[in-house]
Structure formats: structure tokens, C-alpha cells
Structure 1
Amino acid sequence: MPKALETLVAAGLMSSLIFPVYAQVKAPILPGTGQSVQYDTEGKPLTASESSLYTGQDASFEATPLRYQDNGDGTITDLNTGLMWQKSHDTTKRNLTDSIAVVEAMTLGGHDDWRLPTIKELYSLADFDGELMKPKSGKESKPYIDTDYFDFEYDRRRPFAGAFWSSTVYIKGDVQNFTQHGGLQGGFGFNFADGHIKSYETGKFFDGTTIQKSDNMFVPGNYVRAVRNTTTLYDMDYVDNKDGTVTDQSTGLMWSKSDSGKRMNWVEALEYAETATLAGHSDWRLPNAKELQSLVDYEKVDFPAIDTTFFEVTPSQFESQQDSYYFWTNTTQGDFKHTAVYVTFAQAWSKKNSDATEYFDWHGAGAQRSDPKSGSPSDYELASEMASDYISIDNWVRLVRDAK
């Protein structure tokens, strides 16, 4: 290296040690899920060569790796999205209103424009090599976030309660089964302990009335991880290609305009995508969890939660769990590897416990849950004192490929 250039490089390195260097991302890229292992229907690891049915799994594709820069001042820059994040998180759980106030008062890293992330921004941090282990297992849990860059602390009393707020409020309806003031208002969060999106009680009723102590209702609250900067990744800038496909210019992904027209289990869904030749293309796949969630229209006030001016939808009603509009991804759920991730484009049905019979929109359209990869729902009865999700197994498919 020429001596003059050597001097400039050395000066640049010295400067970066004195002053934080914030990465500039000119063209944001949708991050991958971080999933690195493929699993069979029983949750056992396998290699792509063991069966052609598994070649379409998340880990079989070279997705964009999770890439971050530690700015040395308590902030982390995502080199894919261009968003700047709070490295640590406050270990106090608050309702949504109080959380917004705390974030707006932050001056971390010399910046005063911190905010709560949208649910799509928050989900961009998800790392699906995570796994929440049962205390009795003696094994160490791994959060659904890159702990080489981000700090994370499990709730000591309830390790599974690791949800973080987003700013995205559920506007399509109330959640759970309360009737007072129009029911409960839900706000979306991602649980970095167990790897799910759901709506949580914000601390308000659906009509905007604040829940008071006299209402005798427990609002558990969530953590926060603040963000700043913006990204165009989630603009949903669609183009109808007039050949049965739609391109999202925000993410660079091409989608099938129609859904699969029928339900199928996960193994069938992988094969359906593997053999698809829509619009003359043979490289269709099941979307990974982040790709599919990028399609959710959280601002739409009715079902389904997708832009129906561009995308066609088979069901004509969304009234009960039998109408569930759940879509498969190619991503295995880390805690229960015999299940795969799905994203809901209508109600996310659940009930109070396994003995209850009535299902409600417990988690909201745009939630991310998981279903067994194959078999019958009766094979997977849940015995839980918590909310018990509706088990579908046969779900819908919307194909994706990289737009060239």
C-alpha cells in the first residue's frame, strides 16, 4: 500500500475510535431470518440431500445474512435496513402509552428522535436460530435476536415473557373476548424469547378509553427497544405484471397474484412451490417468515390484511376458525421444531385454554404463530392454562421468487 494511502487509512481508523461511525445504507435490503438448520416433520435436523421434500426450507436458501455495526455509543446500526437501534433494553415492562413516552424522552447516542418501531421494523431483528428451552432441560436458551450485538435479558419469573412493543396498533377489531368499551385494544409486539408476533393489551379499551385500576384488569406490559432513521423496505410499492404475478419494488420480491386456492400441510406446500411454473418461472419458493410478513397490510381496517387491489383472495368470509387465512412460510419455529411458522392474514384464533370451546381473535391479523408440519389437528391437543391457539395444519400458500 502506498505510504500516503497508508497514512489516510490509519487516520480514518483513529478517527473511528474517537468519533462513532454510523453506517450509511443507500439501498435497504430485506434481512433473512438467520435460520441455519433444516428440520424434518418431527423436528430432527437433516441435510438437503436426505429428501427432495425439504429442499425448499428456509435454511436451504442463501438469504441475506443479519448484518450489524456496533457504533460504540449504545446504538447498533442494521447494515441491511439502515435503521439504528438501541443496543440494550429497559427491563421495566410498561403499557403502550407509557412506553411511547419513555422512548420519546430518550437522548441515546446524542439523538433525540428515537421512536417505537413498527411491527415490520421490529420483526427485521428476528433471528430464527433462537430457542427457548424448558428450565428442566438443563440446556441454555438462545434469544431470537443476535446477542453478539444486542443485549437481552429473560424475565426471571416467566422466561417466555420476552415481548417488545411496536407502534403498530391493531385496528381491525378488538382482541380476546371482552365487551366493555368495545373490547380490548391490541398492539403488536414480537417476543424475542419465544419467537412469535401477537397483539398485546395496550392498556386501553378498543374505543380508546384508558383502563383504570377500578376496572380490575391486569395489563402485563412489554419491553421496548427504540429505533431511529427510516427505511423504504415496507412501503409495499406494488406493480401488477399482468401475468399472474405482482412485484414489490420495496423488497425486490415477486409474488403470485393469487393464493394457492386450497389448503395443504407444510410438506405439500414445499412441494407445491418446488414444482410451480407460474409465468414461466421455475424458481418459486415458499417465502421465509420475514418475506411473508412484509405483505401484511396492518393499516387496512378490514379482512384480509393484504392489498386486494393487487392480490387475489380465495375465501369470501372470515367469521370463524374454520375460515382461518393462515399462510405457510418455509421457516421452522425454533421452540417446537416439528412446527413451521405461519402468518395470519385474517383473525388469529385462540381460546382461553385447551378445555375451552370458544375461539376468539386473540392475536390479530398479522400475527405470526406456528402449526405442526403434518398430521391431524387431533394429534396435537394442547394442555395449557394459557391461551391455546387453533391448530389448522392445512394452510394457504402464496408463492415468492426474487424479481430479476
Structure 2
Amino acid sequence: MNFEYLKTTFSLLAVCSIMSCGDDTIDTADNGEDGGGEIGFTGLSYEIVDTGVLDFYDNDAIITASGVGDAFYGQDATYMGNQPSYTDNGDGTVTDNVTGLIWQQNMGDKMSYADAVAFVETFNLGGYSDWRIPTIKELYSLSNFTGRCFGDDAVDMFIDVDYFDQPIGDESIGEREIDGQTWSITEYVGRVMNGDEAVFGFNFVDGRLKSYPKYSPATGAPNTMYFRMVRGNTAYGENDFTDNGNGTITDHATGLMWQQADNGENYDWEHALAYAESLTLGGHSDWRMPNAKELQSIVDYTRSPQTTNSPAIAPLFTCTSILDYNGNPGQYGYYWSSSPLQDGPTPYTDAVYFCFGEAEGLMNGQLLDVHGAGAQRNDPKAGSTDNFPDTFGPQGDIRKVYNFIRCVRDTN
């Protein structure tokens, strides 16, 4: 079967569907399989935009598309979601035709968090004055995973630069090119590093979602980052979960059904994909590994091990508790996504994961929550248990390689 052909066909069908639908009402009632009382619904307030990934990968290279039952089948490019679709309104704003959100096109200069909160109160653009700072879920909807960086250097942005500007860091003042982070309104409910207040942001230059300190630990001065204001669809990012009573949970806001509990096992990326493709649960056998944007949709940024003694996910879900890097209890793991993250001289070796526990790093011999529960980073797809876990990068990110998985399927 020619999967490249199928992907192209599905992409065209998705675009045609977007263009032809006038009321955005979608009937996603259950298809008759035994789903333990799953609820049908119409309309989606939290449409997930696809990552845009079209290439297929093994552990370290681009490959031709895998067939059903082959190694690496089920990765991001195997499945087509809502393809990104934007309209440049010609007035400094861009409409996302999938989410219904309207965005500021050009961000301007970096601001402190407090200054941005004050600024948006009187912000007027395109004839509208109802702008707001986006939540981290709204902001993440703009991300794609066709981007690439090379260490501290920018290569290809993780946002569609045909519609949006994306500044990079100013090396003339000591910044790195990848210092182009965009903050959201979402504050971390815990503390990072050595007790620092922090705010979640996404870096459209290097493809990571982290919680960045509000203030400089060295001087106490407010840190500054970019902000991209948004308006419209105030329900975006709000989940509507139902426990189906059969080991599955439906999110009526996104149209996705989730595995309620992970299976307690850790896998490298290849074997996590295989597990997802072989799963039968709740009368369904069409489970898959979620892409990065699907997985982020179930992060609960009001929860963390520090503040609620829980993972950053709704209490309806179950996460296996684990020991931290130092062997202490009370922590939760990383969860694989099917999406790649391209960085460095060997750009095809890593895939995206989300931290549902603390985003641990080892700095100066001290184990810290360096990026916050709910952060998105990346791990090598494969490696020997003799070599991992290890530490990597300026914050000493704990890399595990063997991570959990929570599977997903479409309800329609």
C-alpha cells in the first residue's frame, strides 16, 4: 500500500472539508463498537491542529513509509489530523481556520510578564480591543514540528513563517539565536530551579515548551520574552472529559478518546509505537501513539507534584508513580509522543515527550525541577540501559529513553 499517496489524499480531503463546511458542526457519535456507554456529541471547541509532519523516521534517519505491522509504523506522519490552515486578514492579524483563534501577526519587542499583562488591557489591532495573552494550550496550537535548530542556532522555525513573524535572539546583546521564546499567560503552579516563579512558554525557534523564570535569579530583575496576543474562541484549551467505565476516557472538546491508565511499562520509541498499534481496549483496536499536540491537550497545568502531590493531568487519569533520578519516591514519568524533534548534527535521533511529573535536571550536582510539570522536551529514540538515564544540556535535563505511553484514538 502506498502510504505517501494515502497521506496526500487525506490531506486534500481535509482541506476540502475545511473549505466546504459552513457551520463547523461535526457528528462524532460512536460507530457502534462496544464502547462502554461512550457519549456522542456534535461540535468541537478544542480542535487539535496537526503538527505538519510528513516525513517518516527510524531511530536516526528519514525512511520510506512503514506498512502495518512493520517497525516504526504509527508515527506522526502515519496519521493525518486537522491540517494547518491560516488566513492573513491584511490588518496585522491572522485567523487560524481550524481553531477559530485570531492572532497578532507581528509580536514586536520582548516584554516582562507584568508589562505584557498591562499592555494587553489597552491593545487594539485590526479594529478589535478584546485581545488577551494566550494560555499555553492556545499558544501551542500554533506550533509545528517540521522545524529544526542546531544547538544554539536557528535553522527552520516551529511556526508557519508564511503567516507569522518569528524573531530570533539578538547575539549582539549576548543572546543565543534560540532565545526567541514566547510566553503564555499560564504560570507554573510549582517552582523551578531554586524556588523561582515561572511562566510557561513555547520556543518557536527550538521546539520546546518550558516554564521560564519570571525574574533573573542573578539580579532579581524581570525577565523579558515575546508575546503574541490572541482573541476569539475563549473555550479553546478547556477539556470536557467523560470516564467511559471501560478503561477509556473521552474528551468531548477535542473528539479524542484516551487510555485511562498507562500500562506501567517503559519503552524506547520504536517499541512504544508497536505497543500502541497492538492495543485493544474498551472494544476498540484503532489505538495509536498521540502526536505532540494531542498529548499536550490532556496536560492539566493547574496540577503538579509540588502543589497537588499529583501528576499534571486530570484526576480521572492514572499515572504510574516512579522514583526520581536520585531514587526518591513521589515522582511521575515522561510520556512519548509520535512526533520528531530535529536538533543538532544528527537531527533525526530524537522524539518529543511530555513531563507529567517534574521536568528534572541535574545542575551543579543538585536535582531540580528545571522546566516544570507539563513541559515538553525530547529524548533519543533508542539507547542502551547501560547509558541511560543520563543528563544533557545547560540545565542538565534527565534523559531516560525508556518512557511511558498513553494511547489515543479518534471518537468519530
Shorter-chain TM-score bucket reads: 0.7 to 0.9
In the superposition, relative to structure 1, how do residues 374 and 321 fare at CA in structure 2: closer, same or farther (>3 Å)? farther
Whole-angstrom distance in 1 between the partners of 2:151 and 2:23:
40
Query: For 1:196, which of 192, 195, 208 is the aligned residue?
Result: 208
Mapping 1:125-274, distance limit 5 Å: 125-133=142-150, 141-157=155-171, 158-171=176-189, 173-177=190-194, 183-203=195-215, 216-217=219-220, 219-274=222-277
Whole-angstrom distance in 2 between the partners of 1:95 and 1:86:
18
SS of the residue aligned with 1:52? coil
Task: Quote the RMSD (CA, aligned, Å).
Answer: 2.4
SS of the residue aligned with 1:120? helix
Residue 38 in 1 paired to residue 45 in 2?
A: no
Whole-angstrom distance in 1 between the partners of 2:207 and 2:24:
27
SS of the residue aligned with 1:100? helix
**Does the CA contact (< 8 Å) of 2:392 and 2:398 recur in 1?**
no
Whole-angstrom distance in 2 between the partners of 1:30 and 1:231:
15
Whole-angstrom distance in 2 between the partners of 1:379 and 1:162:
30
* Structure 1 residue 347 displacement after superposition: 0.3
Structure 1, unaligned runs of 5 or more: 1-22, 178-182, 205-210
**Does the CA contact (< 8 Å) of 1:324 and 1:348 recur in 2?**
no
Query: For 1:297, which of 295, 300, 305 is the aligned residue?
Result: 300
Whole-angstrom distance in 1 between the partners of 2:125 and 2:222:
28
Query: For 1:340, which of 336, 351, 371 is the aligned residue?
Result: 351
In the superposition, relative to structure 1, how do residues 134 and 369 fare at CA in structure 2: closer, same or farther (>3 Å)? closer
In the superposition, relative to structure 1, how do residues 25 and 190 fare at CA in structure 2: closer, same or farther (>3 Å)? farther
Query: For 1:103, which of 116, 120, 135 is the aligned residue?
Result: 120
Equivalences, count: 357
Residue 283 in 1 paired to residue 301 in 2?
A: no
Whole-angstrom distance in 2 between the partners of 1:196 and 1:299:
20
Query: For 1:387, which of 383, 395, 398 is the aligned residue?
Result: 395
Runs of 4+ deviating beyond 3 Å? 23-28, 133-136, 217-220, 316-324, 379-384
* Structure 1 residue 259 displacement after superposition: 1.0
Residue 311 in 1 paired to residue 308 in 2?
A: no
Whichever residue aligns with residue 168 of structure 2, its letter is Y
Whole-angstrom distance in 1 between the partners of 2:75 and 2:325:
32
**Does the CA contact (< 8 Å) of 1:233 and 1:251 recur in 2?**
no
* Structure 1 residue 217 displacement after superposition: 3.6
* TM-score for the superposition, normalised by structure 2: 0.81
Whole-angstrom distance in 1 between the partners of 2:294 and 2:124:
32
Residue in 2 aligned with 1:20?
Answer: none
Whole-angstrom distance in 2 between the partners of 1:148 and 1:39:
26
Whole-angstrom distance in 2 between the partners of 1:291 and 1:383:
26
Q: In proportion to residue count, which structure has more helix? A: 1
Higher Cα Rg: structure 1 or 2?
1
SS of the residue aligned with 2:276? helix
Structure 2, unaligned runs of 5 or more: 1-21, 26-42
CA shift digits 1:26-82 (9 cap, x unpaired): 65421111112122111x111223781211110111121111111110000111111
Whole-angstrom distance in 2 between the partners of 1:383 and 1:298:
25
SS of the residue aligned with 2:295? helix
* Structure 1 residue 320 displacement after superposition: 5.4
Whole-angstrom distance in 2 between the partners of 1:117 and 1:262:
35
CA shift digits 1:276-300 (9 cap, x unpaired): 1112211100000011111011123
* TM-score for the superposition, normalised by structure 1: 0.82
Query: For 1:325, which of 333, 341, 350 is the aligned residue?
Result: 333
SS of the residue aligned with 2:148? coil
Residue 349 in 1 paired to residue 355 in 2?
A: no
**Does the CA contact (< 8 Å) of 2:182 and 2:204 recur in 1?**
yes
* Structure 1 residue 382 displacement after superposition: 5.8
Whole-angstrom distance in 2 between the partners of 1:259 and 1:379:
21
